[in-house]
Amino acid sequence: MLLKTLSMLFQRDLAQLESEIDAYGNESNLWVVDKAITNSAGNLCLHLVGNLNAFIGAALGGTGYIRQRELEFSLKNVPKTILLQSIRETADILTKTLEKLKEEDLDNDYPMIVFKEKMTTGFFLVHLATHLNYHLGQINYHRRLLDF
């Protein structure tokens, strides 16, 4: 049950991420930082795609994805079309990976130490879903503040 719920939430929120990025009428605003806003929507999008590809696609799905976290925050002016394509590809990878898991896999230790101690796969997947949603809210707010 939790796997199906998580899959639905990831798909819903990645579709919303795609919608938010696509809604920027002025593409250059994707990369704006201003005052206390230190991460642009474009960089947050790259971060989410990298995070999910590394922690779900590679670690649980064996995709071979190699994360370059520093680039998630240093790359600038990636075309919107590339961001949107990356989101769609990430959604496909998550669907395929989560479909391979069984409910009992959620009680297993996650295969990496991320927060300095072991945690279950289920706990970390819930964390990743809330992490996606947190940054999705930031992107929505960023767009509404800067892209008018």
pLDDT (0 to 100) of residue 36: 82
120 phi/psi in degrees, rounded to 5: -75, 160
pLDDT for 106: 98
Burial environment of residue 124 by CB neighbours within 10 A (0 to 12, 13 to 18, 19 or more): buried
Mean pLDDT for 117-137 is 98
Give me the mean pLDDT over the 137-141 stretch.
96
Q: What is the pLDDT of residue 6?
A: 97
- The parent domain of residue 101 ranges over 2-146
Q: Is the pLDDT of residue 147 over 80?
A: no
Number of domains within the chain: 1
What's the pLDDT tens digit per position in 7-56?
A: 999 999 999 999 999 999 999 999 999 888 889 999 999 999 999 999 99
Q: Distance between CA 42 and CA 59 in Å, rounded?
A: 24
Whether residue 94 has pLDDT greater than 70: yes
The pLDDT, as a whole number, for residue 148 is 67
CATH of the domain at 36: 1.20.120.450
In this model, does residue 120 exceed pLDDT 80?
yes
Q: Model-level pTM?
A: 0.96
What are the tens digits of pLDDT across the range 50-75?
Answer: 999 999 999 999 999 999 999 999 99
* pLDDT at 53 (0 to 100): 98
Nearest partner of 27 among 84, 75, 79, judged by Cα: 79
What pLDDT, on the 0 to 100 scale, is given for residue 34? Answer: 83
